[in-house]
Chains A and B, each alone.
Chain A
Amino acid sequence: MTFDINVILQQMPAILSGAAVTIVIWIVSTIAGVILGFLVATGRRYGGFASDKGLGAIVDVLRGTPFLIQIFLLYYGGPFIGLSLDPVPAGLLGLTVYGAAYFSEIFRSGFDAIPVGHIEAAECVGLSRSQIVRRILLPEMTMLVLPPTFNMAILLIKETAILSIITVPELTLTVSAIGSQQYAFVESLFLLALFYWGLVEIASWLGHLAEQKLSRFRFNNA
């Protein structure tokens, strides 16, 4: 048996379609996860004791269980509670919620890292609470949380591979199917590794660009 990557590459249209599904699912669930995570962090900080504890418990469960199990439960267990989803919506929902749990923790530490005086100064000039969140906290936090947020987004790229087990037609499912057909397991896994690595490199590079753009705001004052 020889290592012949061409066996796989012959099926390029199918691979590209799988890659497109992976990228779309990743981008949509990362953006949705960031937004949901921000809402959760804000709810925990400003929503009072019950909201903090309730959301905190959900976040703990999501962070304390493997994504593989979560997505299984959502897809195969969902129908028992009337939640029957097709693979792609289930994958999007699962990855968004899973990501949001981690993003919310990033934002929570971001909130804590903003000097309280910046909020007091905003109060003193008459900004309302929602204006303080939008005009002061959100932009200041963006600079603080950018590196860990990109890091989490990169982890999510790789978690998309798990969606293959609920038959989301993403790259891992597509390429391993081709591999099984052609008895080219090593080639297919090698190609998959290359693809995810390439995508991670691109995402890191984007994150680096964004950090550089924001670096002029760096806190170097008290």
Chain B
Amino acid sequence: MTLPAIATKNLVKKFGTATVLHGIDLEIPQGKVSCLIGPSGSGKSTLLRCMAFLEEASAGTITIDGEVLGFTESAQGVRERVSLATNRAIRSQIGMVFQQFNLWPHMTALGNVSEALKTVHKMSRKDAEDYAMAQLVKVGLEERAGHYPAQLSGGQQQRVAIARALALKPKIMLFDEPTSSLDPELTGEVLNVMRDLAAEGMTMVVVSHEIGFAATVGEQISFLDQGRLLFTGAPSEVFAKPRHPRLEQFLDTYLDRGASMLL
């Protein structure tokens, strides 16, 4: 049996006195698309950000391909920080895509994608840019390589951001509401890039309000509500016969809005 790509064990996250994640146990399978769904404030983005180590969990552990990220925890609950170098190596296996794209505005599309290749991986300028260009081709933006983020549409910016993450050859791609700040017209181009990626067998974790995407591309769906993982299963189980009343209620709001045709 292969190790899960990501496994969280009793993961707790507190912001001050508020507990946002109440002990999440979740396994993300290798080579599949896992979706995290749930209402706003359910903790799904926080869970994803913990997986990217953008948030440090308050308790519990996260393992990436069997290696502990951030903090080890003994049976007695004693936490110890993983060395910076080790943690950096583990994090390098993860690509992250943000809701707000977060492209660097002073660099062109090509500059954004090649930056880490040059500064972190010490590739020559030419090699880095050639490789970055190949990633832009992959997301269909080779003609926009010389444009600055301010000169690109939201959908194009998000595709550059995906190319930037892919350039580092991650084993796992995390998407934090990648289409939530886009017009409906522009979400399609981003979702298509994600579908291509899924078809290549990339391990993906997607936090999304795009229930249609979750239903058609997702292979494992997890439903969170108020910081608790209420359900994890195959899309057929989730959408065909929602068993948990809270999940049923959540999905109903989508059906009310005419999303049933997507399911």
Chain A positions within 8 Å of B, measured between CB atoms, are 115, 117-118, 120-128, 131, 135-136, 139-140, 142-143, 216-222
Contact = CB atoms under 8 A, between A and B. Distances in A.
Contacts of B149: 221
Nearest to A126: B120
B115 A125 contact: yes
Interface string B177-189: 0000100000000
A73 B52 CA distance: 53
B115 A140 contact: no
Contact of A126 (B98, B104, B105, B116): B116
B37 interface: no
Contacts of A219: 105, 150
Contacts of B119: 127, 131, 135
Contact of B165 (A115, A120, A125, A139): A125
Contacts, number: 80
A140 B165 CA distance: 20
Interface residues of B, number: 31
B95 interface: yes
A26 B149 CA distance: 36
Interface of B: 52, 54, 88, 91-92, 94-96, 98, 100-106, 115-116, 119-120, 148-151, 154, 157, 161, 164-165, 168, 181
A141 B104 CA distance: 11
A120 B98 contact: yes
A55 B122 CA distance: 36
Q: Among A124, A139, A221, which residue has the most Cβ atoms of chain B within 10 A?
A: A124
27 contacts: A117-B102, A118-B105, A120-B98, A120-B102, A121-B102, A121-B104, A121-B164, A124-B94, A125-B115, A125-B116, A126-B91, A126-B92, A127-B115, A127-B116, A127-B120, A128-B120, A131-B119, A131-B120, A136-B104, A140-B106, A216-B148, A217-B105, A217-B148, A221-B100, A221-B101, A221-B103, A221-B149
Contacts of B88: 126
Nearest to B154: A221
Contacts of B150: 216-221
